[in-house]
Amino acid sequence: MSNTLASVQETLRQRARTLLEDGTITYLIGWEAGRFEGQTTPLILRKAADVDRLIYNEFCVHILAKYPLSDKNIEGTIGVVVRGCDSRGINLALKDGQIKRDKLYLIGIPCEGMKDARTGQELKKCLQCTHRNPVVYDELIGDAVEDGAKVDRFAEVAQLESLSVDERYDYWAAIFSRCIRCKACRDTCPSCTCRECFTDQAAMGWQGKETSLAENQNYGITRMFHIGERCIECGECERVCPVRLPLMQLNRKIIKDAYELFGEFYAGIDDCTPHPLDHYLLDDVEEFM
Amino acid sequence: MILKKEKLGSLLDMLAGTATVLVPTAFNAEGGSEGGEKATGFLPYQAGSAVDLGTVKTTRSPKDALLPQTETLYSYEQRGEDVTLTETVNNTNQILFGVRSCDAYSIACLDEVFLTRTFVDTLYYERRLGTLIVGLGCTATERSCFCTSFELDPAVAPGVDIQLTDAGDGYFAEALTTKGTEALDAWKPFLTEGTKPTPAELEFTFKLDTAKLGEQLKTMFEDPYWQDLSMKCLGCGTCAFVCPSCYCFDMSQNNKGSEGYRFRTWDSCTFVDYSMMAGFHNPRPTKMKRLRNRFMHKLCFYQERYGNSLCCGCGRCIELCPVGIDISRVIEDVERVVAHD
C-alpha cells in the first residue's frame, strides 16, 4: 500500500464513515480545510454524512493529542487521528492517568512531516521529529516510514551552551521581552494538563499579571521546569507562538541535560516507562548533595 | 501635497525630535523561530530604524500606544500614619504613523468605550489627547483582510488626523482634522506640490454580508454550534491580544511591605480566570461559554451598545489563531445556523 496523502485521506474517510456508522466511535478528531489554500483546522466529526469535510494533507500542523482530555468522562469513545507526535501525547496522558485507554479509538498514520502553508517548507518541529510513526494506535493507515530526526535537534542548544552566562541572559531577555503572555504555548502543550495552572492561581500570586521582563521570564522558566523531561518534543509551543519565540530551545536544554544525567529517554513512546525525574534510583547522580 | 518616499526618513527624523514616533517596524529582523518569519509592530522610530510601511497588517496592532498591555494606575506608600497616593499622569506626546483603516476604526471603538457614556478613563484620555494619528491608505490586501465587510474604506482611515495616500514615488498627505492641519504645517519643508491620486482598486479574497449579523446572533445563543467550535479552542489569549479593538483589562497590584502600585493589564475573555469572581464563583465555567461570549461581544453586544461592530475585519486573529478558528467563517456559519433553525 502506498502512502500517498490522497490515498491516506481516502482510506481515513472510509474508516471514519464505518466507525461512526457502526457506533465504534462517538466522534472523530481530525482536520478540515480552512478558508485559504493550505490552511487547516481541527475538526470534530460527528456525522458520517459529513465525512468529506475530513482531510489529510501535508498542512495538518495541529497536534490533536490534548483534545480528548476535555471530554474524558464521555460515555462513548473518542476517535483520534494520531501521528507520532499525537500518539506520544496520548501516551503521556494515559501514563498520567488523564484519560482511560478504552475511551479512545486511535487511527494511526505514519507521518513524513508537515509543511508551513505560507513558505511551503517543512516545519522545524517536523524536521526535528524523532518518532514519525504512531507509537500507539488501534489501526494503522499506510506503511511505516523511516523514523529519526532530519536535523540535529540539539544543535541550537549546543550553540547556546557555548555562550557566556551574560550572553545567554541577554539572548533570553531579548526573547522574553517580546512575549505577550497569551499562554498559547501552555494551552497547546500535551504535557500541560494541570487542572489549574500556576499562572491562573491569582490568589497565590505565583505569577503576576504584568507583562514585564521579570514576569515574562518567570512564566517561561517556570513552565519549562514544570514540563521538564516530560516534553514529547512536538514543538507546538513554538508553532503556535504569535510572536515567534524559539521556546523549544528551553525544553531541549532540559531534555539534553536529562540525557546526559540519566541516559537517552523519549517521553510518551509508551504509557508505562517511568520518566527520569518521576522516581529515583540509589545510583542516581547527586552531585549537589 | 506630496511627501516623496526618499524624504520619508528625513521627515521621521524631524518628527522624532518633537514626539515619540511609533511606526511599523520588524521587531525580530533576523526572522522568527521558523526562520525568515518576521513579527512586526509599532515601535518608536530611531534614526536607522527598519521602517516597514509595506506590511499591510502588523503582527501587533497599534492598540498598545493607547492602551498599553500593562499600565500603572497609581502608586501608594505608607509611613507611620501617613499614606501617600501618587496618581499616574500620562504626558503623552506621540505620533502613530502609518495606521491602516482597520486599526483606525478600532481606535474609534476604543474611544467610544473609554471616553463616552458617562465615564471618561483619565489615563486613556491623556494618551489619546497626546496622540496624532497619521493614516495610510492600503495599496494591497492580505488574504485574510475583510474590512469592506464592515463597510470600511481601506483608502481612508476613519478619524485620523492626517491621511497618506500612496502616489507611486511619494505619499499624498492631507489633513482631516484641525490637529492634523496644524501638524502638517511642520511637514512643509519635506513636501512638494502634487495632486491626490485615485486610490488603488483593491481585490479582497472575500466579502461578507454583516447587515443582519447582530440580530441573527441574538437568536442562536443556546445553539449547539458553539459547543463544537469551542472544542478546538485552546483557551489562549492570542485572538484578544493581537486584536486592535479588544479592550478588556484586569487590575492587580504589586505590593512590597508598606508600598506598592496598582496596575491594569490586558485580559482575554477566553482565559479561565477572566470571569472569576470573589469567592471563586465563575459564571463562565466552560470554554464554550467563554468563546461564545467572545463572538457575541465582538459581533452583537458591542453593536447593541454603540451601534457598530467591534470587529474591524483586519484578520489578525484568523492568521494567528493557533488552531485556525476563523471569525469570518463564524460569521458565515451564523447565516447557515440561523437558516436551519
Verify whether the Cβ–Cβ distance A211 to B69 is below 8 Å.
yes
Q: Searching chain B, which residue's CA lies closest to the CA of residue A174?
A: B28
Which of A39, A62, A208 is closest, CB to CB, to B252? A208
Query: pLDDT tens, A251-265?
Result: 999 999 999 988 999
Mean pLDDT, to the nearest integer, of B272-294?
92
Cβ-Cβ contacts under 8 Å, B238 against chain A: 182, 184, 240, 242
Model pLDDT, residue A289: 64
Q: Searching chain B, which residue's CA lies closest to the CA of residue A199?
A: B273
Bigger pLDDT: B124 or B273? B124
Query: pLDDT tens, B219-260?
Result: 999 999 999 899 999 999 999 999 999 999 999 999 999 999
Q: Does B75 touch chain A (CB under 8 A)?
A: no
Model pLDDT, residue A130: 96
Q: Please name the residues in contact with B68: beta carbons below 8 A apart, sequence gap of 6 or more.
A: none
Model pLDDT, residue A280: 86
Q: Searching chain A, which residue's CA lies closest to the CA of residue B269?
A: A182
Mean pLDDT, to the nearest integer, of B331-337?
93
Model pLDDT, residue B31: 45
Cβ-Cβ contacts under 8 Å, A44 against chain B: 228, 231-232
CB pairs under 8 A between A and B: 133
What is the model's pTM? 0.91
Model pLDDT, residue B341: 65
Q: Does A178 touch chain B (CB under 8 A)?
A: yes
**What are the backbone dihedrals phi and psi of residue A218, each rounded to the nearest 5 degrees, phi first?**
-60, -40
What residues of chain A score a pLDDT lower than 70? 1-2, 289
Q: Does A180 touch chain B (CB under 8 A)?
A: yes
Mean pLDDT, to the nearest integer, of B125-136?
96
Give the integer Cα–Cα distance in Å for B41 and B48.
16
Mean pLDDT, to the nearest integer, of B200-217?
92
Cell numbers 507562538 correspond to what residue?
Answer: A241
Query: pLDDT tens, B98-108?
Result: 999 999 999 99
Model pLDDT, residue B200: 83
Bigger pLDDT: B29 or A149? A149
Mean pLDDT, to the nearest integer, of B261-286?
92
Which of B37, B69, B235 is closest, CB to CB, to A244? B37
Using 50, 70 and 90 to split pLDDT, how confident is the model at B40?
confident
Model pLDDT, residue B35: 45
Using 50, 70 and 90 to split pLDDT, how confident is the model at B171?
very high
Verify whether the Cβ–Cβ distance B70 to A178 is below 8 Å.
no
Cβ-Cβ contacts under 8 Å, A34 against chain B: 324, 326, 329
Helix/strand/coil (H/E/C) assignment for every residue in B87-149: ECCCCCCEEEEEECHHHHHHHHHHHHHHHCCCCCCHHHHHHHHCEEEEEECCCCCCCCCCHHH
Give the integer Cα–Cα distance in Å for B42 and B21.
9
- pLDDT greater than 80 at residue B27: no
Q: Does B70 touch chain A (CB under 8 A)?
A: yes
Verify whether the Cβ–Cβ distance B265 to A209 is below 8 Å.
yes
